[in-house]
Amino acid sequence: MRRRFGVVYHLWNASSATDELLDRLIGEVGAEMLVVPVVGGPRVQFRPQAAGEQPHLMVTEGGWHYPPQAEAYRTTAVRPRTARWMGKRDVLARVAELARKRDIELLLGVDLRGCALLADHHPHLRCRNAWGESEPGSGLCVLNPELRELATDVLRDLRRYGPAGFELANWLPDVPALPAPRPLEHTPTARGLLDVCFCPACRQVAVSAEIDPDAAARSVRLRMEQALGSPVADAAADPLAGDEVLAGYVAARRQAAAAWYRQALRGGDGRDYLTVRHPPTGALGWHQPSLTPLLEAAGCVLVSGPEAATRPTIADIRPAGCVLEVWRPAVQTAEELVKQVVAAAEVGGDPIILTGIDEAPAEVVDWLRKAVRFARRV
């Protein structure tokens, strides 16, 4: 079986007339897919391989990294916000044309929950805890109908670029989505309980499932007191155990999220992909078996996460596809990168997406070429 290899490629790397990095990734490494983030949150990136008029330090507040068509959002209450770095250019059109000429699959990445601009201008989309409060790091609620409508319009708008599919990132309920300071990170159960969303949309889903959201919120508040008072027992405790109301509230909303995946990601031209980011440690009740309904919701699921030390091993995930970091802190040497990429191939990963290359020294492209060559032999 010939496995496909792809790279995560940010559009600002293609903002100049020539791009040596992309040429090397396609010509030397043999990348067959480009995963291009086109909607997302703030990012600061130092690029050791930047050349010409490109700055080494890339800073963006996030937003839409392509010019959205106004007519695509005519009925949407929440409007797109274009990232300032791109001005009036359509860099995505140039990258899409290059992908067509090189016969490379183009996947477009959308992370609406991580878009801080939306959270700032539309606070009613934010997640809310059991006290009715919202914190900066919680991000937007995946069950909010306005956010879902916006996501549908974004995918429809992006089809004009002819992508093979989409990477819908961070679309999990009760999982934080924004890089912001967060309270109680040292107490995992309390932190997880604080992330359970009780916004109006979540409450409505619970009512439709004949679950009392007020009773579930009371359970969260009570269990928070217990978790904060017993930090030693916190590590082993299951905050959902023995509480049918709270467990039912969490399950009903996750089932609603999975149902939306099936509706939103089917019926388009080409093959749609779905990325489910592996949740950080402490996310309430999220572990590999509980992701199964979401993994079955699309044709291909990429499971990823930045916490290399805490996420499951590749063998545990057994993914239809996977995302691997190619540089520090996840990878220190060429040998480590080869080992990880080969391991992903051995468990049947397809496609294997490689990320972090634009923040790595030029020599890492050589590491990557070697890793891909060995993995193709599996």
Q: Where are the domains of the chain?
A: 5-178+271-375
Amino acid symbol at 16? S
Q: For 344-362, how does the pLDDT look when each residue is reduced to its tens digit (9 = 90+)?
A: 888 777 778 888 998 999 8
CA within 13 Å, CB half, 235: 2
Amino acid symbol at 307? E
Task: Pick the more confident residue, 315 or 139.
Answer: 139
Cα–Cα distances in angstroms (integers) from residue 79 to residues 42, 72, 117, 190, in the given order: 18, 10, 11, 35
Residue 32: count other Cβ atoms within 10 Å of its Cβ: 17
CA-to-CA distance for 9 and 49, rounded, in angstroms?
A: 13
316: burial class by Cβ within 10 Å (0-12, 13-18, 19+)? exposed
- Asked if pLDDT for residue 31 goes beyond 70, the answer is yes
CA-to-CA distance for 57 and 48, rounded, in angstroms?
A: 9
Cα–Cα distances in angstroms (integers) from residue 277 to residues 46, 130, 186, 197, 223, in the given order: 23, 24, 22, 18, 27
Q: For 83-116, how does the pLDDT look when each residue is reduced to its tens digit (9 = 90+)?
A: 999 988 999 999 999 999 999 989 898 999 999 9
Q: For 257-315, how does the pLDDT look when each residue is reduced to its tens digit (9 = 90+)?
A: 878 876 776 544 444 555 544 444 445 555 444 444 444 443 334 444 333 333 333 33
Percent of the chain at pLDDT above 90? 44
3-state secondary structure of 364: helix
- The whole-number pLDDT of residue 169 equals 79
Tokens of 280: 């950080």
- Asked if pLDDT for residue 226 goes beyond 70, the answer is yes
In CATH, 5-178+271-375 is 3.10.180.10: no
Alpha carbon distance, N-terminus to C-terminus of the chain: 9
